[in-house]
Chain A
Amino acid sequence: DGGITQSPKYLFRKEGQNVTLSCEQNLNHDAMYWYRQDPGQGLRLIYYSQIVNDFQKGDIAEGYSVSREKKESFPLTVTSAQKNPTAFYLCASSAETGSNEKLFFGSGTQLSVL
């Protein structure tokens, strides 16, 4: 079954803790993205990666970090520097960036602060 898998579905973070959200795709897509969604809001771009071992900051990258060591995987770490991390995090992929490609989304991770 092809698609994007995000885990966990729910995640709780304590003060001062870093947490990592997993995103795996088996669509053989080059490009992957992380978006943040706050209640009743649209999506804001955190980071994106066009190819393995390369990634770029989006509009709200502060307090987040990513890696892209494998084509299939694009984990997002929410660091303790992110003071307001409670949100719904969505991972997506596309065959390429900037070329009329549609995005395929995972089912999201809800992150809450304890």
Chain B
Amino acid sequence: SQQGEEDPQALSIQEGENATMNCSYKTSINNLQWYRQNSGRGLVHLILIRSNEREKHSGRLRVTLDTSKKSSSLLITASRAADTASYFCATDTGRRALTFGSGTRLQVQP
């Protein structure tokens, strides 16, 4: 079963707007990671946030983690058409391999 579930499943915004994606998970984690996938390609790692961190920034990305609610959010500020992709959260429980959510498809209109 999927450990993480993203919300919304799809998001369409205009260039320059901010995009927010949410991820909920079920069990305790060591860290949570966000990945990006362009259509028909492999995934690319964006950012990792550890269980003892609450917020992390990387360029136009901001990730928050609330372990009490078992949820995380990814904010992309000042979005660009090139940000169009699917975004996945993945949880690391320290047991074997990352467990991925179902993803959010982001469409940024120029």
Seen from chain A, the residues whose Cβ lies within 8 Å of a Cβ on chain B are: 4, 6, 33, 35, 40-45, 48, 56, 58, 88, 90, 92, 97-100, 102-108, 110
Show 20 A/B contacts (Cβ-Cβ < 8 Å), sorted by A.
A6-B42, A33-B97, A40-B103, A42-B100, A42-B103, A43-B88, A43-B100, A45-B96, A88-B40, A92-B42, A92-B43, A98-B30, A98-B94, A100-B48, A100-B92, A102-B45, A103-B98, A104-B45, A108-B42, A110-B40
Q: Is B71 an interface residue (CB 8 A)?
A: no
Nearest CB to that of B51 among chain A residues?
A100
Q: A41-B102, A42-B101, A42-B102 given as contacts; is B96 within 8 A of A105 (CB)?
A: no
List 4 A-B pairs, minimum CB-CB distance, nearest first: A105-B42, A43-B100, A42-B102, A102-B45
CB-contacts of B39-64 with A (<8 A): 40-45, 48, 50
For chain B, which range describes its interface: under 10, 10 to 19, 20 to 34, or 35 or more residues? 20 to 34
Q: Are A100 and B42 interface neighbours, CB within 8 A?
A: no
| Minimum C-beta distance from A68 to chain B (A) | 14
CB-CB < 8 A to A48: which residues of B?
A: 96-97
Q: Is B33 an interface residue (CB 8 A)?
A: yes
| Minimum C-beta distance from A25 to chain B (A) | 12
New A-B pairs, 12, CB < 8 Å, besides A4-B42, A40-B103:
A41-B102, A43-B43, A44-B100, A90-B42, A92-B42, A98-B96, A99-B94, A100-B31, A103-B35, A105-B44, A108-B41, A108-B42
Q: Is B95 an interface residue (CB 8 A)?
A: yes
CB-CB < 8 A to B20: which residues of A?
A: none
CB-CB < 8 A to B103: which residues of A?
A: 40-42
| Complex-state Cα separation, A53 to B42, whole angstroms | 26
CB-CB < 8 A to A56: which residues of B?
A: 96
Nearest CB to that of A105 among chain B residues?
B42
